Amino acid sequence: MLVFNDSRTIRIFSSAVQCLRIIAYASQQAFVLKCSHSGGVHTKPRLEYKFPDMSPYDWYRFLISENVDIDAVGAQYRPGYLSSEPNNLAQNSVPSLIQVTKTFDRFAALGKRVHITEFELPSRQLPEMKKYGTLNWNETVQAAYVEGFYTLMFSKPTADSIVWWFISSAMPNFDDNNGPRPFERGTSSLTPKASYYTLKNLIMNHWSSRGAEYTDTDGTLKFSGFGGEYLLTVTHDGLTKKANIRVRDGVSMSYRIKFDRAGILGEQAAELSRLRGQAETILQELDRIWKWSDTINERKATEIRRQLDVLIALNHDLQYERVIELGETLIDNPFQMKLSGLLSDFDGFAPIASDPRGDTAATVLPGTDLAFLYAFADFSSLYIGIAVLGDHPNKNLTYTTEIEVHSPRFPHGQTFHAAISRNGAEGSCWEEPWREGGIYFQCTYAIGEILEIRVSLELLKMPETIYLNRFFVWQETSRQVFDEYDGRPVEIPNLRNFNATTTQVEETTTTLTSTTSTKSTQTVAGAFGESWMLYVAAICVLAIVAAAAYRLRNKSWWSRKGR
C-alpha cells in the first residue's frame, strides 16, 4: 500500500525572538488596540485583527527574509467560491489550470513545501456564480476539473498535500447550495459523486505501485515505483515474511530483508497468538454488547446476536484477521446507526424522556412542541434524537440538550450542551458554563422528521455515566424559549458502565434451576412411591396364596395319615 501524505510537523516560529519580531512588525500592519468607556468604567483593552496590506505571497516572502524557520507554506483554493468578504473575493474566480500552475510555481520558488490547506469545487451552477469558461458547473464538470487539478498538483515535486474542505457526514455547511463536496449530502451515509470515483481511480490505479516479481539467483529484486510507504510480502520455500519500507521520491534506495526460517516461524507463531488473543477479546466484548443491547432494543439485539454467531464461526475456522476486521466495525457502531433525520433510525428504542404535548402557547411557531427524546451511548458515540409534535421540527430555531457526564476527568460531574443551531447549519457540543479553553467541538447531525445529533465520547473524555438534565427549543436572537423538558434527570443507557452479570439475571437463573430441581424430585419420588406400594401388594398376595397352599397340603397329608 502506498501512502502519499507527509506527516511532518510544521514549525511556524523557531524562537521566541523571531516570534516577537514578527508580532512587532505585524502590530503596525494588522492589529488595532481599542479601549472604551462604559458608565464611567474603563473596559479592558482588546486587540482586534485588521487584514494587513500584503498579499499571501508577500507575507511568506517577508517571513523567509526575516529568517523565520518555517517548513511549508499553505494556500487555499476554492474556484467558484461564493463569498462576500473582501479578503475572499479572489476565490470567487475560476482560473484555468494554466493560471493555477503559474501561481503554484511562484509559491514553490520560495523554496518551501506547499500544502493546499483548503480545496473545494462546485457541482451545481447558481445564478450568481462564475462558470468554468462557458460551462455550467455540474457533477461531470466537477469530476473533470478534479482530474486535471489533482494530476497537476501530483506532478509538482514541492506539493505535499491537498485537503478537500468540509468532507464530513450529515454536517451541512453554509456553502452547500453549490454542492462543493465529492459526496451528495443528505444522510450520514453520503452518496459519492463522479468526482469521488475520479479521485479514487487516480489514487488507487494510477498513483499506487503494486506488483509481483521473482528475485534473481542472488536474491536481488529491483523495481521502480512512486515514493511512499510499501508493504513487501516475500515468499520462499513455503514460508512468508512481510516487511515495511519507505521509498523517497527521486532517490534510489536499497533494503536488505533477512529470510531466516527459524526466525520467520517464530514471528508467525507470535503473530498467530496475537491475532487469536485479539479476536477472542473482540468476541468477548461483542458478547457484552449483545447482552447490553438486549436491555434497550431487543430487535437490534437479535441482529447483533446473528452477527456474533457468524464471527464465532469464523473464529473456529481460524480466520482471526476477518474476525478482527468485522468485529471492530461492529463494536464501533453496534446498532449501525445512520443519521438520516428519520424516526426509523431509532426503531426499536424506547424514549428515555417525554414532554407533555400541547404545553406551548397557541401563538408559538409550528414545530416547537417537544414530544420525546431518545438517547443511548455505545462504545464511541452518544446518540440523541428529539421528536416534536407533528414530526416537522422548525429548522430556524435552536435545539439544545443538556447532559451531565461523570468520569475520572470529571469525578464531580460536568455539564455539556449539545445543540443544533444557526438555522440548522451547525451541530456542536461544549462545556456549560463556557469558559476560555474549555471543551468545544462540532458534531454530526441531521434534521428531518426528527432532530439527531451524534456526540463523540472521546471528546467528552470517555464518561462512565451520562445524565439527561433537560432539552429545550429556543430562538437565539430573542432568547425566547418555546418549549422545555422540565422533568427529573434521567440516566442515559451507556455501554461503558454496563456489567453483563447483573443481579436480576442471576436471580432468574437461580429461580429456574430451583423450580426444575423441585419438579424433578417430585417426579422421581412419586414414581418410586407408586412402585413400592405395588411391590408390597404383590408380596402380600403371594404370601396369602402360599399360606393357603400350605394349609391345603397339610390337610391332605393329615387326612392320608389318619387312614
How many structural domains comprise the chain?
A: 4
CA 66 to chain centre: 43
pLDDT at 424: 80
- Whether residues 368 and 419 share a domain: the answer is yes
Distance between CA atoms of residues 329 and 289, nearest Å: 13
Instruction: Cell numbers for 263, please give them.
Output: 526466525
- Whether residues 354 and 481 share a domain: the answer is yes
pLDDT at 1: 26
* pLDDT higher than threshold 90 for residue 42: no
Query: Is-contact 454 444, C-beta < 8 A?
Result: yes
Domain boundary among 275, 307, 332: 332
Instruction: Cell numbers for 126, please give them.
Output: 447558481
pLDDT at 405: 96
Distance between CA atoms of residues 535 and 39, nearest Å: 112
Within a domain: 506: no
Cα torsion 97, 98, 102, 103 to 10°: value is -30
Higher pLDDT, 143 or 189: 143
> Where residue 442 falls among pLDDT bands split at 50, 70, 90?
confident
Indicate the burial class of 304 (C-beta count within 10 angstroms; 0-12, 13-18, 19 or more): buried
pLDDT at 274: 95
Query: Is-contact 419 442, C-beta < 8 A?
Result: no
Within a domain: 325: yes
Within a domain: 200: no
Higher pLDDT, 386 or 42: 386
pLDDT at 361: 67
> Where residue 49 falls among pLDDT bands split at 50, 70, 90?
low
Within a domain: 419: yes
pLDDT at 9: 32
Query: Is-contact 417 161, C-beta < 8 A?
Result: no
- Whether residues 372 and 490 share a domain: the answer is yes
Distance between CA atoms of residues 243 and 266, nearest Å: 15
pLDDT at 516: 33
| Structural domain range at position 160 | 71-168
CATH number at residue 393: 2.60.40
Within a domain: 256: no
Within a domain: 362: yes
Query: Is-contact 344 321, C-beta < 8 A?
Result: no
pLDDT at 311: 96
- Whether residues 382 and 489 share a domain: the answer is yes
Residue 6 identity = D
- Whether residues 359 and 322 share a domain: the answer is no
pLDDT at 514: 32
- Whether residues 323 and 373 share a domain: the answer is no
Higher pLDDT, 14 or 440: 440
* pLDDT higher than threshold 70 for residue 528: no
- Whether residues 328 and 366 share a domain: the answer is no
Percent pLDDT > 90 in the chain is 42
Beta bridge partners of 113: 72
- Whether residues 487 and 542 share a domain: the answer is no
Higher pLDDT, 423 or 16: 423
Mean pLDDT for the chain overall = 79
Distance between CA atoms of residues 51 and 69, nearest Å: 23
- Whether residues 363 and 489 share a domain: the answer is yes
Q: Is 67 left (phi over 0), alpha (psi -120 to 50) or beta?
A: left
pTM value is 0.65
pLDDT digits (tens, 9 = 90+) for 454-505: 999 999 999 999 999 999 999 888 888 999 998 999 999 999 999 865 333 3
Within a domain: 479: yes
Pairing mode of beta strands 183-184, 159-164: unpaired
Within a domain: 6: no
Pairing mode of beta strands 381-388, 370-377: antiparallel
Least confident of 16-30, 322-336, 512-526: 512-526
The three-class DSSP label of residue 470 is strand
Instruction: Cell numbers for 510, please give them.
Output: 437461580
Report, as an integer, the average pLDDT of 237-254. 86
- Whether residues 406 and 548 share a domain: the answer is no
